[in-house]
Structure 1
Amino acid sequence: MTDTPGWASPGSDPTPDGREPGASDPADRPGTGSGAPAPQPGAQPQGPGAQWSKEQPAAGQWSAPTGAPGPGQTPPPPPPGPGWAGPGPGAPGGYGAPPGGPGGPGGYGGGYGGYGVPGGYGAWGGGWAPPAAKPGVIPLRPLGVGEILDGAVSTLRTHWRTVLGISLTLAVVTEIATILLQRYFLNNTATQDTLSDPSTSAADAFRVMGESLLGTFALSLITLIGTLIATAMLTSVTSRAVLGRPVSPGEAWREARPQVWKLFGQLLLLGLIGVGVMLGGAVPGIIGFLVGNENVGITLLVLGLLAAFVVVIWLTVRFSLAAPALMLERQGIVQSLRRSTKLVQGSWWRILGIQLLAGLIVGIAKVVISIPFTVAAMIAGGGDSLAGFLGENGAHVGWTFLLISGIGAVIGTTITLPISAGVTVLLYVDQRIRREGLDLELARAAGVQGAPAGAPGPVPGS
């Protein structure tokens, strides 16, 4: 029988006199006496069935009758509830039985039972289960939708200096580059005039369109780089926030830097997969056009692109946890995609719903923040800025409009980017808790009192 606090040896059930089941009586040992049992106070059992008390407790309250206590003895305490061990001798506030142990179907190994209801009643005999430990921004147990969203906001609120410092720095750098590109490349009145002129040659039109697409690509690339770096650093911050540990921007960057290039490679691979799926969906329509049947080609093209879009959405959710797997487990690019597939399996709709809800909240917040700045920019910039914003020919957006609207974009990105990144990381942690018991590893890493000893596994942020 082990003496480790918070653990119970499977199958051990001490008898009232303190001996293990099956242990030999000292009176039966050679040289210890006549073999007669030592006298015990109170009534002695007369047969095998006399060890059971005539008055039994209600079903589900005790594990098994262990004999009527004699004078001066106290009844044995009820066994611990599922998932956690209640306070008692040798297990002060510790964890409950390990997976597959005496917790039975209601314990941690066969289902969460009352473990998912903090401070409520467990599935084992209606016993009370204490709340899960919460060293950081989330409780260490399977999370609900509200707890995931609240954990992302709590990370922003608790570690606001680090979180806002990271997101604000990268938002400012990204927005400055965006304003310069919009002013000098994407706000060219000559480009608009060329494309709107009916006498423009095809060569000039293609040249102008190429320049515009190049500027748009550069703008998207700059935004993507800033978002990826910020997401990588915020992933490290959120993983530490789960353990209740602060982290500085420098520490977050040192942890994220070795994996940043892999993160770019992962995004590039996912982009190529998406483009390949869309091209594959367009192939039947292209073949229809080549054989000369325009109506069939259009029909096949539309249906193929719709089917390809559905596949892209399915793959997007399937690989949505690849980034935190790559950052926190130090996985390779392909291995992180496989890891995400394993974690998402069986929870595809749940993860899609949470991601859509988080995206809706983030999108509404960005719009609400940007609207006052956009209106102020239109008023301060005058009629030309409004006409340029609406895309009228011959009009361009001025510096005043770009600067004021850029301030709104920076504020919106600074606030919403940490929430979006935090939701993805906490979804990853939640799936690992549900599938792999990561809460036990997190409890040990956070130094929660009574966490079971054992070989530590991978812990986010370690």
Structure 2
Amino acid sequence: MPDAGPTAVLPRRPLTVGELLDSAVLLLRGQARVLVPVALVLAVAEQLLLHPLRLAAGTAPPAWLPEFGRFGAYWLLLAVGAATEAVIVLLLGNPAARAAGAALFGRAAGPRELLRPAGARWGATALLAVGVGVLMCGVALFGPAWIVGFALLGAVAPALVVDRVHPLRAPLRAAALAVRAAGRAGWIRLLGYLVWWIVRVGLGVGVYLGLDSFDLVNRPWAGWLSLAVWAGVNSVAYPALACLDAVLHLETRMRTEGLDIRLSRARAGTPETVLLAAGR
């Protein structure tokens, strides 16, 4: 199996930004039957959680912008939304990272492999997701600080399940990789979020307005329809971001740690988990 090629999901070499985005999309396409249904469940739960906060902030579909004088409640809504996004992307990052690791060896991980609990470290992933969610909610209350937190914590799940570091080290490992090479990984993660934010807003608002233009929106159910649209859009956007985190993590290791060289020199028969584990 060649290390690189035009159809490789994740070539064994440093990639350009465009190639990284392409690799993330290829990984999502190959693992959509696992990632998208899981993301849909999480996205629906997120919308149900945020709905009371939206009502308290006086927002209305489809853009859910606040009423004048309720900015405090809306700010809390944004902070909680930032936290739920971080939690969902981190949870999806567990199977996405393991799928990316398999892709680095030229194979596609099957659904059973990704959903199998053995060795997946789901317990640690859930605990880290809660911790990251609380942290993101806290920093989001300070506005621009959310951007820093989001940029630094993208590789928490890959560091945990691919690098096999201790759970307490995973956030530190993620932050360390994010700031390498002048913060390249952090900036690319922000770029990916911006791209998908534009897509999400465009579809979340556009689909609703399109249905409304044909008089297909029942006003008493307008809010729930909008929530369903947003959940559907996020069920694709969230795993896409998780896949970007996964391929970006491995590419950063190839770029800054020589992971590609390590793999090319490895003895035949060495387990994948051993080859991908970070040095202690």
Match of 1:141 in 2: 13
Amino acid at match of 1:459: L
Change (3 A) 1:218 1:420: closer
- Aligned residue type for 1:239: G
Matching residue's letter, 2:196: V
Change (3 A) 1:234 1:256: farther
Give per-residue Cα distances to partners, 1:201-256, cap 9 Å, x unaligned: xxxx9xxx88x988887777666544443333333333333332223167336225
| Alignment partner, residue 63 of structure 2 | none
Bigger relative contact order, structure 1 or 2, given CA contacts below 8 A and separation 6+? 2
Return the alpha-carbon distance in structure 2 between the equivalents of residues 164 and 319 of structure 1: 22
One-letter amino acid matched to 1:360: L
Describe the shift of the 1:173–1:139 C-alpha distance in structure 2 as closer, same or farther (beyond 3 A). same
What stretches of structure 2 of length at least 5 have no aligned partner?
A: 61-66
Equivalent pair of 2:151/2:186 in contact (CA under 8 Å): yes
- 1:261 maps to 126
SS in 1 for 2:33: helix
- 1:377–1:216 CA distance, 2 compared to 1 (3 A): farther
Q: Could you say if the C-alpha distance between residues 335 and 425 of structure 1 is closer, same or farther in structure 2, counting changes exceeding 3 Å?
A: same
The 1-side partners of 2:207 and 2:195 are apart by 19
Q: Is the 8 A contact 1:162 1:249 kept in 2?
A: no
What are the residue-to-residue correspondences of 1:145-164 with 2, within 5 Å? 145-164=17-36
Give, in angstroms, the shift of residue 269 of structure 1: 7.0
Unaligned runs of 5+ in 1: 1-92, 94-130, 190-194, 198-204, 279-304, 386-397, 445-450
Query: Is the contact made by 1:329 and 1:458 (CA closer than 8 Å) also made in structure 2?
Result: no
The match for 2:98 among 236, 244, 253 is 236
Q: Secondary structure at the match of 1:347?
A: helix
**TM superposition shift of 1:416:** 1.4
In structure 1, how many angstroms separate the alpha carbons of the residues matched to 2:81 and 2:190? 25
Matches within 5 A, 1:303-318: 309=144, 317-318=151-152
> What RMSD in Å do the two structures reach over aligned CA positions?
4.2
Write out aligned runs for 1:41-56 (5 A): none
User: Which structure's CA Rg is the greater one?
Assistant: 1
Partner secondary structure for residue 238 of structure 2: helix
Question: Take 2:157 and 2:95, find their aligned partners in 1: how far apart are those partners?
Answer: 12
1:296-338 Cα shifts (integer Å, max 9, x gaps): xxxxxxxxx9xxx57x755654444334212323323442233
The AA in structure 2 aligned to 1:163 is L
**What is the CA distance between 1:362 and its match in structure 2?**
0.8
Partner of 2:276, secondary structure, is coil
Q: Which has the higher helix share?
A: 2
| Alpha-carbon contact 1:156-1:163 (below 8 Å) kept | yes
Matches of 2:111 and 2:75 in 1, distance apart?
A: 39
State how far apart, in whole Å, the 2-side matches of 1:339 and 1:219 are. 25
Residue 373, structure 1, aligned to residue 207, structure 2: yes
Letter in 2 for 1:372: G
1:339–1:196 distance in 2 versus 1, CA, 3 Å: closer
Q: Is 1:416 paired with 2:237?
A: yes
Change (3 A) 1:405 1:313: closer
Alpha-carbon spacing, 1:412–1:330, altered in 2? closer, same or farther (3 Å): same
How big is each residue's C-alpha offset from its partner over 1:11-54, in whole Å with a ceiling of 9 and x where there is no partner?
xxxxxxxxxxxxxxxxxxxxxxxxxxxxxxxxxxxxxxxxxxxx
- State the AA in 2 paired with 1:257: W
Is 1:404 the counterpart of 2:225? The answer is yes
